[in-house]
């Protein structure tokens, strides 16, 4: 089957510019037009009340795809700290409160780990790619590291300045975006998606054709009433 991709739009279901620029960087050589929610006006937001990264990723992707009528890629990700029984986990973005800043979340994390010698942690990422009718593909990955007792570096976002990646002796905030993506949870999950990109495009087109057929059938039925 030949693939026509010139007009294939993919919406990244986030307003987080840190996440969005990492995903855009990884998708840069794909023959598709990548947008994120900052390219659209105000649109309703899904309630992120899932208990797992998978649930929340699917909620964000399927909700956005349905609202915009376009394929959407959502990332749900977060930090799990062993000494905190996996917290902040799915609450990573709002660890210090519903409108918490990255600095507030980092301060709360350092306080929670004060005096703690077990600093093991991992970042997890689930990517969900959904079409307006709801079907989705899923990719996931994680990255092991340690939480420092003071921030280091100014790049990146979120918990990057506290997350040491031992094999490189650097925090994520001390790495270039390319270095971070070569080892990070998000970079690894995106690499999986990229690895089967031809298949992904075919899947998107097949689902779009199904949707067009369904709409056509609905219109004929309405016309017959």
Residues marked as catalytic: 76
Cβ at position 28, least distance to ligand IMP in Å: 18
Residue 139 Cβ, how far from ligand IMP at the closest point, in Å? Answer: 14
Q: Among 182, 179, 194, 180, which Cα is nearest to 28's?
A: 194
Q: Which is nearer to ligand IMP, 8 or 106 (CB)?
A: 106
Least CB distance from residue 56 to ligand IMP, whole Å?
A: 6
| Dihedral sign (CA 137, 143, 149, 153) | negative
Question: Which is nearer to ligand IMP, 76 or 207 (by Cβ)?
Answer: 76
The residue among 55 and 211 lying less far from ligand IMP, judged by its C-beta, is 55
Tokens 């709409």 sit at which residue?
215
> Is the N-terminal amide bond of 88 cis, ω within 30° of 0?
yes
The span from the CA of 121 to the CA of 81, in Å, is 4
Could you tell me if 21 and 177 are in contact, meaning their C-beta atoms sit under 8 angstroms apart?
yes
Estimate the crossing angle of helix 185-195 against helix 197-223, to 10 degrees: 70
**Cα(90)–Cα(77) distance, integer angstroms:** 7
Compute the least distance from the CB of residue 33 to ligand IMP, in Å.
23
Residues 170, 163: Cα–Cα separation, whole Å: 8
Nearer to ligand IMP, 104 or 211 (CB): 104
End-to-end CA distance of the chain: 37
**Closer residue to ligand IMP (CB): 17 or 215:** 17
Residue in the shown chain whose Cβ atom is closest to ligand IMP: 158
The structure tokens 């970079």 sit at 187
Residue 41 CB, nearest distance to ligand IMP (Å)? 20
* Strand 120-130 to 33-36 pairing: unpaired
Which chain residues interact with ligand IMP by CB under 6 A?
16, 48, 76-79, 92-93, 105, 123, 156-160, 172, 184, 186
């Amino acid at each position: 089957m030949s693939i026509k991709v010139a007009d294939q739009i993919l919406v990244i279901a986030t307003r987080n510019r840190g996440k969005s620029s990492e995903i855009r960087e990884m998708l840069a050589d794909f023959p598709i037009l990548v947008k994120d929610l900052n390219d659209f006006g105000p649109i309703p937001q899904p309630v992120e009340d899932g208990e797992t990264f998978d649930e929340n990723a699917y909620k964000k992707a399927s909700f956005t795809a349905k609202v915009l009528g376009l394929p959407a890629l959502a990332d749900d990700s977060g930090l799990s700290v062993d000494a905190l029984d996996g917290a902040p986990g799915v609450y990573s973005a709002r660890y210090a409160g519903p409108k918490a800043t990255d600095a507030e979340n980092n301060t709360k994390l350092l306080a929670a780990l004060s005096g703690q010698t077990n600093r093991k942690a991992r970042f997890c990422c689930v990517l969900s790619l959904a079409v307006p009718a709801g079907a989705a593909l899923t990719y996931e990955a994680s990255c092991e590291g340690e939480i420092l007792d003071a921030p280091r570096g100014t790049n990146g976002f979120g918990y990057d300045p506290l997350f040491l990646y031992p094999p490189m002796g650097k925090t994520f905030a001390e790495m270039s975006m390319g270095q971070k993506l070569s080892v990070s949870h998000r970079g690894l999950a995106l690499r999986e998606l990229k690895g089967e990109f031809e298949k992904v495009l075919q899947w998107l087109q097949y689902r779009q054709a199904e949707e067009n057929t369904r709409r056509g059938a609905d219109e004929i039925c309405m016309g017959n009433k």
